[in-house]
Structure 1
Amino acid sequence: MQFDMDGASAYAYTGGKPFDPALPTVVLIHGAQNDHSVWALQSRYLAHHGHSVLAVDLPGHGRSSGPALTSIGEMADWLLVVLDAAGVRRAILAGHSMGSLIALEASRRAPDVVAALALLGTTYPMKVSDTLLQTARDDEEAAIDMVNAWSHSSIAHKPSCPGPGFSVMGGARRLMQRMSARNPAQLFYTDFAACNSYAEGEAAASAVRCPVLFVFGKKDVMTPPRSTKLLTAAMAHGTIVHVDAGHQMMAEAPDAVLDALAGFAASIKPMETQETP
C-alpha cells in the first residue's frame, strides 16, 4: 500500500490482503537498517486472522522514499500521518528495537490513537557505543557485520526460517546491505544516532495507560532483558514474554513471537482498537 506524503512516497505492507480500516488494525514498525520484510510471518498471519495490518517502511528504508528521518520524534510524527492517511483512528502499535521507541513516542504524542503497545527487543535508554556509532558513520559494511553477529544467538538455526536451507544470519545481513544500496546516505548511522539521542522514553513510558506487551529475547545482547527495568517499572501493568532468541527474534523465534503478538492482539477489544464513525 502506497501513500503520498507531500510528494514523498510511503509504503506499508498489508499482509497479502486489502487494507480495511474498519477492522482492528495492527501497525508493525521495523528497527534500524531494516524494512517491513522482517515481519513476514507475523504480518501475514495477523492479516488473515481478523486484523488489518500496516507493516511500514520508514522513510529512506525499503520502498519508502528518503531521506531517512534523524530523530525518534520525527519518525513518530511521520507514523501518525501515515495512520491518518490510511483512515486509521485507533491501532495497536508493535515496534522492534528502534521501532519500539517510535511506537512509544507515538503513544506519548497521540494517546487517543494508540489502543495498545507491543514493544519487542526494547530498552531505554537505547544507547549505542561510540565505537559502533563511528563505525556506522565511517564503514557501514563493517557495522552491518558487527550488528548482524551481535543480533543473533547462533550461527546455525534449526529449524531454519522460513524453511530448510535458509540462512537466518545471511538473510539479515543481505537485508541490511540492500538498505545501504537503496539509501547510501549513512542510513545505519542515522538510525543509530536517533536511538542514541532519544531522551523522552521515561516520560513517554510513565504516561502510558493502554495495554502493553513486552517481548524480550532471552539471549539478546543488543537490548538485554536486564537493561529493561526502567521501562517495565514505568509500565508495570505490561505483560512480559521471553522468547528463546537473540535480538533478531522475529527470524530466530518466529512462531513464539507470532504467538505472543497474536494472543495480545486478540485480547484487545475491537471497540478499543477501531471505532466506527
Structure 2
Amino acid sequence: MTTKNLVLLPGLMCDAAVWAPQVQALSATHHCMVMDWGLTDSLTAMAQQVLADAPATFALAGHSMGGRVALEVMRLAPERVERVALLDTGVHPLAEGEAGAKEKAGRMALLSHAQRAGMRAMGAMWARPMVHPAVVGGPVFEQVLAMLERSSPAQFAAQINALLTRPDASPVLAGITCATLVLTGRQDAWSPPEQHQAMVDAMHAVRAELVVLEDCGHMATLEQPDAVNTAFARWLAA
C-alpha cells in the first residue's frame, strides 16, 4: 500500500526550498513534511529529531547530508520507515590521516569565509562546483544562493560538526529491506554515480533502483526536478 506520509530531509545548509518541486508534485497524494535542522550538530540528533516529529510510519527521502540522516534513521528505527530514497549522498565516515584533515580544513575555511563575508558570499564560491556548469548564474543557482543567505554561520558551524563527526553508515545498507531509490546526478562531483552504485550493490536483501540523471550536478531536486519527480513516483508506487 502506498504510504501517505513522506518525510523529506534537506542537505547541508538547505531548507524546504530544496524539496519544493517534489512537495508541489506530491502534495495532492502525500502529506509532505520537510525537516528543519536548526542548530542541531550531529547526525544522530537529527535522526532522533525526525523520529520525534514524524508520524508513526512514513516514507523517507534524504538529499546529501539528509541522506546520511536517513541512514541514521534506518539504523535507529527501521520498522518505522516504509521506503527510503537516498539522493546525492554517501556512507563513509571522515577519512583518516591527510584526506580527513584536508576535508576538515576545507570546511573550516568555508565557515571562516561565511563569518567574515556572509553566507551568500561564501555560497557563491561553494555552490559553483556543486551544480552542473550550465546551471551556474541561472535561476536554479540563484535559488541555491538564496537558501544559503537565509541560513547563518552558526547553523553552518553546527552542520559542519555533524558531517565531520559522521558515523560509518556502510553497515546499515545491508539491513535495508524496504523499497529503495538511490539517485544522483551524472556530473555530481561530490557524490558520483559509482559511489551510489556501490551503495546499491551493498543492499543484498532488497532490489534498489539506481537512477543517474544526465546533465545534473549535486542539487538534483532543483536541477532536474521533473526527472526526480518521475523517479519518486515509481519509488512511491513500488
Q: TM-score, normalising length from structure 2?
A: 0.85
Q: Which residue of 2 aligns with 1:202?
A: 170
Counterparts of 1:1-277 in structure 2, within 5 Å, are: 24-48=4-28, 50-58=29-37, 60=38, 68-83=39-54, 88-125=55-92, 127=94, 129-140=103-114, 141=119, 143-156=122-135, 167-180=139-152, 184-185=153-154, 187-236=155-204, 237-244=207-214, 245-267=216-238
Shift in Å at residue 225 of structure 1? 1.7
* Partners of 2:175 and 2:226 in 1: CA distance: 31
Q: Which residue of 1 aligns with 2:97?
A: none
* Partners of 2:174 and 2:9 in 1: CA distance: 21
One-letter amino acid of the counterpart of residue 131, structure 1: A
* Partners of 1:246 and 1:156 in 2: CA distance: 9
One-letter amino acid of the counterpart of residue 53, structure 1: C
What is the SS of the residue equivalent to 2:8? strand
* Partners of 2:3 and 2:217 in 1: CA distance: 32
* Partners of 1:23 and 1:212 in 2: CA distance: 14
Shift in Å at residue 143 of structure 1? 4.1
Check conservation: 1:216, 1:242, Cα contact below 8 A. Answer: yes
Structure 1, unpaired ranges of 5+: 1-21, 61-67, 158-164, 268-277
Higher helix share: 2
Shift in Å at residue 130 of structure 1? 2.7
Q: Tell me the alpha carbon deviations over residues 40-75 of structure 1, each in whole angstroms, 9 at most, x when there is no partner.
A: 111121111x222112222x1xxxxxxx11111110
Structure 2, unpaired ranges of 5+: 95-99
Check conservation: 2:7, 2:34, Cα contact below 8 A. Answer: yes
Check conservation: 1:133, 1:193, Cα contact below 8 A. Answer: no
Q: Percent identity?
A: 28
Q: Cα distance 1:156–1:105, how it changes in 2: closer, same or farther (>3 A)?
A: closer
Pairwise CA RMSD of aligned residues? 2.2
Moved more, 192-201 or 171-180: 192-201
